[in-house]
Amino acid sequence: MSEFLKFKCDLDNFIQELQTILESNTNRVEELLQQTSKTYSTFVKPLQMMEEKLEHFFTPLSHLNAVNNSEETQEVYTQSLPIITEYSTKLSQNIEIYKAYKKIQINEKESLNYEQKRVLSLNIEHFELSGAHLDADVKKRLEEINIRKSELTNNFSQNLLNATNDYKYIITDKEDVDGLPSSEVENAKFEEEGVTKYKFTLQMPSYIAYMTYGKNEKIREVLYKAYVSRAPENAKIIEELLALKDEMSKLLGFKNYVEYSLSSKMAKNEDEVLDFLQNLLNNSKTQAKKELGELQKSAPKDLRSFDTAFYSELLKKAQYNIDEEEYRPYFEQKNVVNGMFDFLNKLFGMKFVKVEEKLWHKKAFSYDVYVGDTLRARIYLDLEARESKRGGAWMHNYQTHCLNEKGEEQLASAFIVCNFPASSDTNPSLLRHDDVVTLFHEMGHAIHHLLSTVNENEVSGVNGVEWDAVEFPSQFLENFAYEPQVLKMFASHYKTNETISDTMIDKLVRSKNFLSAMGMLRQLEFSIFDLKVHNGVYNEDEVQNILNNIREETALIKTPQYNKFQNGFAHIFAGGYAAGYYSYKWAEVLSADVFYSVIDEGIFESKTAKSYLNVILNGGGAKSMQELFKELMSRDPDTTKLLRLNGIE
């Protein structure tokens, strides 16, 4: 069994080492192609493991650039992108590899197992989507497009991070922070020339705190405006990205980028996805209007976009007598993490043992993961917000479970990164319940990767899973963060150790679907915009018009003209969700269906939960999720469970 990798990244020599590895890989590809008789084990497997090892080398740099961003990481990462993109593009367009795969697929049809057959079919599809079968001029242009796209997406991310970090709003009047949680006031407070002041930023914990509790609406508007108009230079990046994606899709024989994107997903075509989204919109709109009516009653004048979080909090308190701040002492970060581990142990037999190793930051930790007494994986957690860290939360795979060329087992490892309130020597990190849900969500992704028993790395863990199914395991797990018996496993007051009361849990559960139909409309707005903006080439004004037209149907409160949400929509312009943002809702249908089966059977007595471990988590991407879902549930997904989950009638 191979060892877990030691996390290291030598920034000084990274580019040189990368070039050496890529040169060696290129020579190795040529050697493999020289073989007269190519088989799965002598050709496909060595190629797979070569790419896996390249991931092992490159991942620490992309990880550092996201969690400890500095001028040095930016520079090395920016320099490395065109180098690795050029290499990957050439490899994905190598017609000889493509031909060899097709030949092996025919020659070894009877002897290959389903995992190996899936590797071949996905690779052949990938080659065709990369233009391997096209002429040299087209391939050269596709390579140029890929390099430029990777530069643009990196610039988009960096612009967003810089704009978020560069902004601060200083409050000098103590009255303007009245009503904010004491922990947020403490985090914002600083002394300057003997005067106490309060700094608010566009970092998520700080921004959300003022938007939710800040009584001064002028300050709320200033912060909101700064947030929704961040990174205006990204508008031109969007224009160029759309043009490049459209050109690439047409070169590959697709009508537009949406058709290209959906060709490798569960959903069949744009109409099917738009019908699915429209159906959710039709089912949610009446309830959303009702919710807005309730919200409007709690406000003294017509609601504006920068008012909703503030008045929602007031209404939530009034309707459910629920104060988010009252809950935070029960969600001390370490207790939540340990409680989540206990829950996973009870549900799936997983154990987490802390590893003492030096990582990229003193607030990062690693754990070895056992199922029963068997070591299965390693997980890294980096959970607290800091300036050098990209916003949001994510899981990223590092090593993938597989057998290498010698038949030795390689175990999996993965990172979970969040931006929770920072702890200090005097203050612990106290989470909002939303943060708890986020942690469970990312852990759902992580165990999907870590518990795979698949032996081919390209279809093991999250690899090979259709993009519109990849959120299924994360959403499935996050739903348990509202279950009373799960909450009682970790929600205890960090000072008194008192377990959260049934009354508090009841209020939390009842408030779960507070304004859920309005939330549904917002997500549908993002999903529809993503599809419509990716079905052609549009300039800055046209992009805005597309969004405005969608908002006519989805935004119940008029959005101000200065709101340029698209310039911060990193999921689709700097992440992997282009023409695929609908995947969140698509996967939620699967997750809600399985979740309610587990709940209805009794969480810890559930046969479906045990099958879920064996079929979905162990199964990785070695079969289509459609096939795995049918194997698990013996039927097609039931879409009504999604509405039940969201409390929508």
Q: Which residues are catalytic?
A: 442
Whose tokens are 């919109």? That residue is 281
CB atoms within 10 A of CB 207: 21
- Cβ–Cβ under 8 Å, residues 578 and 466: no
Q: Cα angle at 180 between 174 and 183, to 5 degrees?
A: 100
Q: Indicate the pairing of strand 350-355 with strand 364-371.
A: antiparallel
Measured over the CA atoms of residue 249, residue 449, residue 380 and residue 183, the dihedral's sign is positive
Q: Say what angle helices 114-130 and 95-107 make with each other, to 10 degrees.
A: 150
What is the distance between the alpha carbons of residues 564 and 579, in angstroms, rounded to a whole number?
19
* Continuous segment of H or E residues that includes residue 540: helix 540-554
* Token pair for 360: 């990229």
Separation CA 559–CA 537 (nearest Å): 24
How far is it, in rounded angstroms, from Cα 96 to Cα 261? Answer: 25
- As given in the structure block, the two tokens for residue 274 are 């738009």
What Rg value do the Cα atoms of the chain yield, rounded? 25
CA 457 to chain centre: 21
Q: Output the CA–CA distances (angstroms, integers) from residue 41 to 210, 406, 558, 623, in the order listed.
A: 58, 10, 60, 20
